[in-house]
Homo-oligomer: A and B are copies of this chain.
Amino acid sequence: MPCGMGCQALDTRAGRAQRAGMHFKSDNASGVPQEILAALGAANDGFAPGYGDDALMGRVRAQIRDIFEAPQAEVFLVTTGSAANALAIASHCPPWGAVFCHALSHIEMDECGAPEFYTGGAKLMLIAGEGGKITPDALADALARGGVASVHQVQPGLLSLTNLTECGTRYSPQEIAALADLAKARKLPVHLDGARFANALVAEGCSPADISWRAGVDVLSLGGTKNGLMGVEAVVFFDPARAWEFQLRRKRGGHLLSKHRFLSAQMAAWLEDGLWLRLAQQANDAAARLEAGLNARRDARLRFARGGNMLFVDLPRAAHQRLKQAGAQYYLWPDHASPDGPPDIAVTGRLVTSWNTMPRHIADFLSALGPQDQHG
């Protein structure tokens, strides 16, 4: 029996997802689980203090401190990953600073220069590396090249890592620590773009602290949006020294919401009872299923070791064309790859699964791939 307008809409689990079909473009194309809508409803309780002074934000802060075993941590919410990254970086890197990051990182490739804008013109120092990962040798080399104390060059500012990486691979805590140690030896702070932090975390099976501050991360962009929220990201300062500066930068950037409780409510529900981990596990499981199906084919070749919920697969162009015709949605990689050309030449597809990717989405996709091509 319906309770009135809106109630049916909440019932997303049952029947909606299948309608959307084979959607592997991005985990940010998915919606939110019922718990998040419910939390919004519960938070819609008359008047409340704004701008982060809501009681729910206190709860979020306590949750993060508890989950990350970081009683000093400061936590702030914003609505996009670009804002989380750019504000976190700007709070740790001066305008004349160099941001050491992977050449494929989101901050370089997909934020229209947000880090440059927020820092006042810092320079991203791009480091190449297989599978979206920076190796200690590559970082050491970049630091040697870019780390001269000279007034003529931008000065070492910050190391920014991404986990999961843009290629869907994963850093272990040990790998992060090895990179962070090199940065710390230069007194550089370490930022982690964790748009898919939860996916990395559950795949790694370690504690949140192990793969963040214990490995040397100073400030974390903890992504919620790609993992079940409407547009909520937490910035976690394990060292609170820069927290006040961050708050001023956030306001000045137009990222402090007056009705902040609606961000807090989502984040609190997401962190509650491990919902965020379950959602990430669902996405990773879907990717594992897809991986297995692709591995069973002669004409498919996975490009990188799967770290969580993202795959890059080389397929004959003909196979891609069949998939597209069947309605499968995903990006070619890199962006400017062309879907046109000889059918037997492989192109690369980026496939991202979400918390609400269903087994039948995977099955439909694998089936739409069709017969295995000869020249895969």
Cβ–Cβ < 8 Å partners of A122 in chain B: 113, 116
Q: A78 touching B254 by the CB < 8 A rule? A: yes
Q: A259 touching B247 by the CB < 8 A rule? A: no
Given A247-B151, A356-B46: A114 touches B336 (CB 8 Å cut-off) = no
Cβ–Cβ < 8 Å partners of A262 in chain B: 230-231
Q: A12 touching B45 by the CB < 8 A rule? A: yes
Cβ–Cβ < 8 Å partners of A62 in chain B: none
Q: A31 touching B50 by the CB < 8 A rule? A: no
Output the nearest chain B residue to A9 by Cβ-Cβ distance. B41
Cβ–Cβ < 8 Å partners of A80 in chain B: 254-258
Contact of A252 among B84, B96, B144, B231 (CB under 8 A): B96
Q: A258 touching B26 by the CB < 8 A rule? A: yes
Per-position 1/0 for A248-267, Cβ under 8 A of B: 11111111111100110000
Per-position 1/0 for A61-105, Cβ under 8 A of B: 000000000000000001111111011000000111000000000
Nearest chain B CB to A6's CB is how many angstroms away?
3
Please provide the chain A residues from 91 to 133 with a CB less than 8 Å away from any CB of chain B in the complex. 94-96, 109-114, 116-124
Output the nearest chain B residue to A144 by Cβ-Cβ distance. B336
Known: A84-B254, A226-B258. 13 other contacts (CB 8 A): A6-B39, A16-B45, A40-B230, A51-B152, A79-B79, A79-B257, A80-B258, A96-B112, A110-B152, A111-B254, A114-B254, A231-B258, A253-B254
